[in-house]
Amino acid sequence: MKKVFIVTGEYSGDIHAAKVAEALKNSDPSIIIEGVGGENLKAAGVKLLENQKKMGAVGLSPQIIFNHYFLGKKIVDYLTKDFKPDLVLLIDYGAFNLSIAKFLKKAGIKVFYYIPPQVWASRKWRINTIKKYIDEVLCIFPFEVKMYEAHGIKVHYCGHPLVSQLPQPANRDEFFLKHGLDPNKKLVSVFPGSRAFELKYLMNVFLKTAKNLQKKHPDLQFCISHAPNLSDELYNKYLKDTDFKVIKGENQALLSVSDALILASGTVALEAALYSTPMIIAYRGPYLFYLIYLLVRCIKMVSLPNIVSGEKIVPEIIENQVTVDNITYNIEKILYDRDYRENNIKKLRQVKHLLSDKISSKEAANEILKALQS
């Protein structure tokens, strides 16, 4: 029996990992799969060596570095001494996964990387680490193929997982009725991020913007998306003096029924584009991190719809530009400038056509199965 070990670090990666695990099991029920992940991977029948909760953080605090070091050591020791897998599948979470890839490769373990680090966006030198320690890259953007091939790295294009995994748009009338929303008002939804530090830097300015827009435009109503991996207590800290509706665990439905979106940068922007929902991206964090980002970035755009399309479809408001006035102006333009709105929606629809209609998780699973059989 063949053995596969999966390592992923954040909520979105856990979802993608579970889909690949299910596809592997469906094709070959005899495969033994263990891993590091979250509840989705566990629900897919994967035995967890460790829950990803220790990994779901970004930064350089001593605690994060401590957790990552000892978790990495635990994984490498277990794989080299006990489990001895035929293949390790790394998914997303670049800094951590590349750090353990080095030790796995030295131990003679075959290593595949699904949803690899976006080296085309920043820190391009990481492609040398990928070439050295990764046997095959399973990429999700079509433009990545030529880049990896140019560096002599074995690569297979799987298509973007969101294209096949994203649910159909929710029924607007039913959603509004369920959550007590006014069907005669436009809905602006706020997605402040899925990490605690993102809420720290973005939530207050997003809420002030919502209050400002609501005061100026009585025809607007607002919902706040609650990331399922963050606690109610954390949200209550910011929302205690507001009456905005908080929607938890219905991200895709909320994206699909909204008239406009205020988003932190991330995969959620691509989800919104696939629903053709107009949005603005606003993002800021520790200023030192931003300065470092300016030094290592390879492209000028930050949101995936803009990167995929090659043009600035989505307004990007970054760091010092993240103000109530700037966000307000762009949301008003989306909602009340008819020509701009129609053109924006048209361009967002084109993003989906640029991505493959492949079922990404099945493509990844098939490549893994081929490697296991060779």
Residues 298 and 283 in one domain: yes
Residues 10 and 143 in one domain: yes
- The three state secondary structure string of the chain is CCEEEEEECCHHHHHHHHHHHHHHHHHCCCCEEEEEECHHHHHCCCEEEEEHHHCCCCCCCHHHHHHHHHHHHHHHHHHHHHHCCCEEEEECCHHHHHHHHHHHHHCCCEEEEECCCCCCCECCCHHHHHHHHCCEEEECCCCHHHHHHHCCCCEEECCCHHHHHCCCCCCHHHHHHHCCCCCCCEEEEEECCCCHHHHHHHHHHHHHHHHHHHHHCCCEEEEEEECCCCCHHHHHHHHCCCCCEEEECCHHHHHHHCCEEEECCCHHHHHHHHCCCCEEEEECCCHHHHHHHHHHECCCCCCHHHHHHCCCCCCEEEHHHCCHHHHHHHHHHHHHCHHHHHHHHHHHHHHHHHCCCCCHHHHHHHHHHHHHHC
Residues 181 and 261 in one domain: yes
Convert the pLDDT of each residue in 40-94 to its tens digit.
999 999 999 998 776 655 555 666 676 777 888 899 999 999 999 999 999 998 8
- As a whole number of angstroms, the distance between CA 74 and CA 96 comes to 13
Q: Given this model, what pLDDT does residue 124 score?
A: 82
Residues 243 and 288 in one domain: yes
Q: Given this model, what pLDDT does residue 70 score?
A: 81
Is residue 153 one of the residues assigned to a domain? Answer: yes
Is residue 165 one of the residues assigned to a domain? Answer: no
Q: Given this model, what pLDDT does residue 296 score?
A: 47
Is residue 98 one of the residues assigned to a domain? Answer: yes
**Series of mean pLDDT values for 10-residue runs along the chain (374 residues):** 94 92 97 96 96 62 71 92 97 91 95 92 84 97 92 96 92 98 98 88 95 97 92 90 92 97 91 97 72 52 87 92 97 98 96 87 97 92
Residues 144 and 186 in one domain: no
Is residue 63 one of the residues assigned to a domain? Answer: yes
Is residue 250 one of the residues assigned to a domain? Answer: yes
- As a whole number of angstroms, the distance between CA 113 and CA 134 comes to 7
Residues 299 and 204 in one domain: yes
Residues 185 and 334 in one domain: yes
Domain range enclosing 153 = 3-160+357-373
Residues 347 and 365 in one domain: no
Residues 115 and 183 in one domain: no
Residues 142 and 247 in one domain: no
Is residue 367 one of the residues assigned to a domain? Answer: yes
Q: Given this model, what pLDDT does residue 157 score?
A: 96
Stated pTM of the model: 0.78
Is residue 167 one of the residues assigned to a domain? Answer: no
Please name which of 255, 268, 242, 263 lies closest in space to residue 190, comparing C-alpha atoms: 263
Q: What is the CATH number of the domain that holds 121?
A: 3.40.50.2000
- Name the domain count of the chain: 2
Residues 14 and 74 in one domain: yes
Q: Given this model, what pLDDT does residue 60 score?
A: 52
Q: Given this model, what pLDDT does residue 295 score?
A: 47
Residues 323 and 361 in one domain: no
Is residue 130 one of the residues assigned to a domain? Answer: yes
